[in-house]
Amino acid sequence: MIDLRAITFAYRDQTPLFDKFSLTIVRGEIMAVIGPSGCGKTSLLYLLAGLYRPRRGDIQIDGAPLARPRPETGLILQDHGLLPWATVKANAALGLKVRRFYGPDGKHAPRDYEIDSGLGHQKVQYWLQRLGLEDLQDHFPGQLSRGQRQRTAIARTMTLDPDVLLMDEPFSALDAPTSDRLQQLVLTLRHESDLTTLIVTHRIEEAVRMGDRILVLARDTNRQPHIIVNPCSRAADAPQDAAFSRQCGNIRSLLEDLT
C-alpha cells in the first residue's frame, strides 16, 4: 500500500537522513519505527504524511504519487495538536468542520466524500463514547490529563475514516496503565478497520508489543531498511513471555550495532 522508492531526504546543509532508501508497508499492518534521537524517525513520518518532500525518489500510496497531504491519512502528533480554546467535542469535530468548509475537493476531503452534518455529528458522538470521552466533551484541553488529550486526538482522527494512521510517540509521557490501555485501543482499531499504521517510538518494549514489523533506523544516513519481523506483537502476556524478552534483546543488539 505504501511504497518509498529510492528516496533521498536531508535538511539544508546537513547529512542526508535517507539516501536512495526504499521501503514497502503493506495494507493493514502496524509498523513500529525505532532508533536513536536524530535518526529520522519523525522525518519519515512527515514524509509519509506529505508534509515533507524527498529531494529524490518518490512515495506512493495505493499506487498514487504522494505530492501533498492526503485526506485519507491521519496524523497524531506527540503534543496532540488540540486547539486549547476548543472543547473536547469541538476538537473531535474539527476535521469534519474543515471538510464541510472546503467540500470534497480531493485535498481536504476525498472526492467521493459525502458532506452530511447529521452523520458527522453521529460519528463524533460515537468516537467520544467509544473512547470514554462522552462525559468530558464540554471540557477544554487544559482540564484534561495527557491520556485524555491523546484520546481526543484519536477521536478527531478516527471520525475522518482514515486508511493510514501515522503516530509520533503517541504513548510517551503517559503512566503505564494509561499507556497500556491506549496501546490496546490502537491494536483493536487496526483489527476492526484494517488500518495501516506506522508508530514512531523510542521504547523497545512498545515496538515489540505493537509492530507486526519493526523498522530500526541508524544514526548515520539510512540507505537500506533494517527490518525485524515480529511474531511477538499483540500477545496479551507479552512482557512475561520469554520470546518477547528475546525479541527485545534482538532489537537492542541491532540498535547498538547501528549506533
Q: Is the pLDDT at 254 greater than 70, yes or no?
A: yes
Question: What's CA 203's distance to the chain center, in Å?
Answer: 15
Residue 115: what pLDDT?
A: 63
Domain regions of the chain by residue span: 1-72+165-259, 81-161
Region for residue 239 given its phi and psi (left: phi exceeds 0; alpha: psi -120 to 50; beta: otherwise): alpha
Q: Concatenate the DSSP letters of all residues of 193-258 into one string.
A: HT-EEEEE-S-HHHHHHH-SEEEE--SS-B-S-EEEE-TTTT-TTGGG-HHHHHHHHHHHHHHHHH
Residue 178: what pLDDT?
A: 81
- The model's pLDDT over 6-30, given as tens digits with 9 standing for 90+, comes to 999 999 889 999 999 999 999 999 9
Kindly calculate the radius of gyration of the chain based on its CA atoms and give it in whole angstroms: 18
Q: Is the pLDDT at 259 greater than 90, yes or no?
A: no
- Report, as an integer, the average pLDDT of 179-189: 85
Cα(133)–Cα(155) distance, rounded to whole angstroms?
A: 9
Fold category of 1-72+165-259 in CATH: Rossmann fold (3.40.50)
Residue 110: what pLDDT?
A: 74
Residue 212: what pLDDT?
A: 94
Residue 241: what pLDDT?
A: 78
Owner of C-alpha cell 518532500? 53
CB 241 within 8 A of CB 232: yes
Residue 235: what pLDDT?
A: 58
For residue 24, which phi and psi values (nearest 5 degrees)?
A: -120, 130
- Please report which helix (H) or strand (E) contains residue 147, including its range: helix 146-158
- The model's pLDDT over 195-252, given as tens digits with 9 standing for 90+, comes to 999 999 999 999 999 999 999 999 899 999 999 999 888 655 556 678 898 999 989 9
Residue at 156: amino acid letter:
R
Helices then strands, each counted (H, E), the chain? 8, 10
Cα(53)–Cα(250) distance, rounded to whole angstroms?
A: 32
- Report, as an integer, the average pLDDT of 36-60: 94
- The model's pLDDT over 89-136, given as tens digits with 9 standing for 90+, comes to 999 999 888 888 667 777 777 777 776 667 788 989 999 998 889 999
Characterize the bridge pairing of strands 196-200 and 30-34.
parallel
Residue 185: what pLDDT?
A: 84
Cα(251)–Cα(248) distance, rounded to whole angstroms?
A: 5
Residue 18: what pLDDT?
A: 97
Q: Is 112 helix (H, G, I), strand (E, B) or coil?
A: coil
From first CA to last CA, the distance across the chain in angstroms is 30
The angle subtended at Cα 257 by Cα 57 and Cα 245, nearest 5°, is 105
Residue 58: what pLDDT?
A: 95
- The model's pLDDT over 54-96, given as tens digits with 9 standing for 90+, comes to 999 999 999 999 988 998 999 998 777 899 999 999 999 998 8
Characterize the bridge pairing of strands 30-34 and 213-216.
parallel
